[in-house]
Amino acid sequence: MMNKEQYLASLRKLKPVIYCNGRKIESVVDDPMTRPHVNSAAMTYELAHDPEYNDLVVATSSLTGREINRFTHLHQSTDDLVKKVKMLRMIGQKTGTCFQRCVGLDALNATYIVTHKVDKECGTSYHERFVKYMQEVQEQDLMIAGSMTDVKGDRSKKPGQQADPDLFVHIVERRDDGIVVRGAKAHQTGMVNSHEMLILPTTNLGPEDKDYAVACAIPVDAPGVVHIFGRQTNDGRRLQGDIDTGNAEYAIVGGETLTVLNDVFVPWERVFMCGEYQYAQEYVETFAAYHRQNYGGCKVGVADVIIGATAAMAEYNGVPNVSHIKDKLIEMIHLAETMYNCSIACSAEGHKTEAGSYYVDTLLANTVKLNCTRFMYEISRLAHDIAGGFIATLPYEADYKAPETRPYIEKYFAANPRIPTEHRIRMARLLENMTGGTALAESMHGAGSPQAMRVMLYRETNLEHKKKLARKLAKIEQ
Ligand SMILES: Cc1cc2nc3c(=O)[nH]c(=O)nc-3n(C[C@H](O)[C@H](O)[C@H](O)COP(=O)(O)OP(=O)(O)OC[C@H]3O[C@@H](n4cnc5c(N)ncnc54)[C@H](O)[C@@H]3O)c2cc1C
């Protein structure tokens, strides 16, 4: 298992093409725009070497019997699934943001299950190939970006019906030694500081969309790959100091990219689906269920920090014991723990798949994420209520540091006399960072927009069974 320093060194060896704000990023480790995201992901490496978290972050490989980082593990029991959630909550508490590595973990586990099924039903040999790849991922402790979401163009149209065929990633050439793919993946979390990306389809497909049924692994710096780094709320503040960024060490969400694949060659040993369109939907749903499981872990870790910051703000403002404040804090705790409950439940109710790995209860996993699309907003709303308007109107850090204005800010933003004004400002900036713009949009759309979960809830619920229960009690004969 790599430690933090080894992870940073491994990133320095890669040469991805990354554009950000009109320039190229030469080193993701050293560039101020990407370094906070690197720090967040590095936590997943660092904690694997901390004896306190060994049980959560270290697992035993089902493929080699060796110790591996849990972010490269194929889940072997419901206990593994539960530990994943606990690990995510714990790291969310330490970073206060997205630490990115779960997307690849979920893509790997989904691919393991789906390749097994495709091989069994189609006589292909993707699974064996994937197992070899998985061993590499585990042995080298790679960070994998989970690359599902295509740019999708006109949302009412299937891939082959789009005005531009490249709006979904597709195979443009099949060769003796591999395939060539073209298209782009959007919103790619942790991409610039991953080692490889695992491409998978984004939607259900028909026979006319065979070329869009593609899964493969591609190094982030493969020829033809171009990353365009996404802008986040207040990210320019990173270049101006540390107070105004709120969480200077770890930033906001996962440092997403638009990743363009300009005729990228992929050797056959890295291709895990090539034309089996009938399995695209199951692939998407399997990945999505694993990914939705996470939100009651990582986002609850983040919510723990928001709740702590909100309680601190109440104290700094001098109103910690006011009844409506306590009530609102209780509500925030309730919402956070409800999300956590759902994640634990979908893990504990998981089951063994035919491939031998463990999979979550999909109905419950979709409940987790649907709750998250609402509860993180409500938690943030309550945090804003308690923190006060100055999280929206605070002066610049530069003015706080300037001799002409600092005395005024010190004097007029003082509240509880036991608390230095700077603490009140720092806590407000942390809350501003964690409860606005980009951070909330991730809770809404990450792992799918709410409607995607609603569709799954309707599909996974046995309404006929429920109607039967009701008819029986109402003494209605069919
Ligand atoms: C911060 C963040 C991180 C992310 N990280 C990753 C990642 O690491 N890897 C990855 O692969 N993806 C990632 N995603 C992508 C995420 O899964 C998508 O944002 C999500 O699936 C929604 O897709 P979209 O953004 O294209 O929204 P859209 O598809 O444009 O959806 C917008 C709205 O339109 C509705 N809509 C769209 N199409 C239809 C339709 N055909 N019929 C009816 N309604 C429709 C949706 O329900 C939604 O309400 C991330 C997203 C965010 C915001």
Q: Decide if 412 is inside a domain.
A: yes
Catalytic: 98? yes
Strands (E), 44-126: 58-60, 67-69
Cβ proximity of 143 and 151 under 8 Å: no
Counting ligand 1 atoms within 8 A of each CB, the residue from 143, 149, 193 with the most, and so the one to mutate, is 149
Cα angle 145, 370, 159; round to 5: 55
The catalytic residue among 45, 279, 291, 373 is: 291
The catalytic residue among 189, 202, 286, 367 is: 189
The pLDDT tens digits of the residues spanning 39-68 come to 999 999 999 999 999 999 999 999 999 999
The catalytic residue among 20, 102, 216, 346 is: 102
User: In Å, how far from its chain's centre is CA 371?
Assistant: 16
User: In Å, how far from its chain's centre is CA 323?
Assistant: 36
- DSSP H/E element including 283: helix 280-294
Counting ligand 1 atoms within 8 A of each CB, the residue from 449, 451, 454, 457 with the most, and so the one to mutate, is 449
Catalytic: 295? yes
Q: Decide if 452 is inside a domain.
A: yes
- DSSP H/E element including 426: helix 421-435
Q: Of 424, 341, 434, 448, nearest to 382 (Cα)? A: 434
CATH code, domain carrying 467: 1.20.140.10
Distance, in Å, from the CA atom of 211 to the CA atom of 148, rounded to the nearest integer, reads 15
The catalytic residue among 98, 216, 274, 372 is: 98
Cβ proximity of 181 and 172 under 8 Å: yes
Q: Which residue has the tokens 């709740």?
A: 307
Q: Decide if 415 is inside a domain.
A: yes
pLDDT of residue 478: 73
Structure tokens at 120: 């069994």
Q: Decide if 381 is inside a domain.
A: yes
Report how far ligand 1's centroid is from the alpha carbon of 467 (Å): 33
Residues in the chain with pLDDT < 70? none
Q: Whose CA is nearest to atom 52 of ligand 1?
A: 446
Cβ proximity of 431 and 309 under 8 Å: yes
Distance, in Å, from the CA atom of 281 to the CA atom of 123, rounded to the nearest integer, reads 19
Report how far ligand 1's centroid is from the alpha carbon of 408 (Å): 45
Distance, in Å, from the CA atom of 401 to the CA atom of 406, rounded to the nearest integer, reads 6
Domain count along the chain = 1
Range of the domain at 307: 292-473
Report how far ligand 1's centroid is from the alpha carbon of 358 (Å): 26
Catalytic: 115? no
Q: Of 372, 336, 351, nearest to 452 (Cα)? A: 372
Q: Computed over its alpha carbons, how large is the radius of gyration of the chain?
A: 23
Report how far ligand 1's centroid is from the alpha carbon of 205 (Å): 17
- DSSP H/E element including 23: strand 23-24
Q: Decide if 369 is inside a domain.
A: yes
pTM for the model: 0.97
Please name the residues in contact with 22: beta carbons below 8 A apart, sequence gap of 6 or more. Answer: none
Catalytic: 298? yes
Cβ proximity of 132 and 369 under 8 Å: no
Instruction: For the beta carbon of residue 116, count every other beta carbon within 10 angstroms.
Output: 20
Report how far ligand 1's centroid is from the alpha carbon of 445 (Å): 5
The pLDDT tens digits of the residues spanning 107-162 come to 999 999 999 999 999 999 999 999 999 999 999 999 999 999 999 999 999 999 99
- DSSP H/E element including 43: helix 35-46
Atom of ligand 1 nearest to the CA of 147: 11
pLDDT of residue 413: 97
Q: Whose CA is nearest to atom 38 of ligand 1?
A: 155
* Beta strand 178-185 pairing with 58-60: unpaired
User: In Å, how far from its chain's centre is CA 421?
Assistant: 35
Instruction: For the beta carbon of residue 383, count every other beta carbon within 10 angstroms.
Output: 24
Distance, in Å, from the CA atom of 144 to the CA atom of 110, rounded to the nearest integer, reads 13
pLDDT of residue 253: 86
pLDDT of residue 29: 98
Q: Decide if 119 is inside a domain.
A: no
Q: Decide if 403 is inside a domain.
A: yes
CA distances from 177 to 173, 202, 372, 472 (A): 11, 25, 44, 62
pLDDT of residue 477: 87
In this structure, the residues whose C-beta lies within 6 A of any atom of ligand 1 are 103, 146-149, 152, 155-156, 187-189, 253-254, 256, 441-442, 445-449, 451
Query: What is the residue type of 399?
Result: D
Distance, in Å, from the CA atom of 63 to the CA atom of 269, rounded to the nearest integer, reads 18
Atom of ligand 1 nearest to the CA of 441: 53
Report how far ligand 1's centroid is from the alpha carbon of 105 (Å): 19
CA atoms within 13 A on the CB side of 243: 17
Q: Decide if 205 is inside a domain.
A: no
Give the helix, strand, coil percentages of the chain, each rounded to 5.
55, 15, 30
Q: What is the DSSP letter of 230?
A: P
Catalytic: 189? yes
Counting ligand 1 atoms within 8 A of each CB, the residue from 261, 445, 455, 456 with the most, and so the one to mutate, is 445
Distance, in Å, from the CA atom of 198 to the CA atom of 87, rounded to the nearest integer, reads 22
Q: What is the dihedral of CA 4, 5, 8, 10, to 10 degrees?
A: -110
Cβ proximity of 299 and 92 under 8 Å: yes
Catalytic: 291? yes
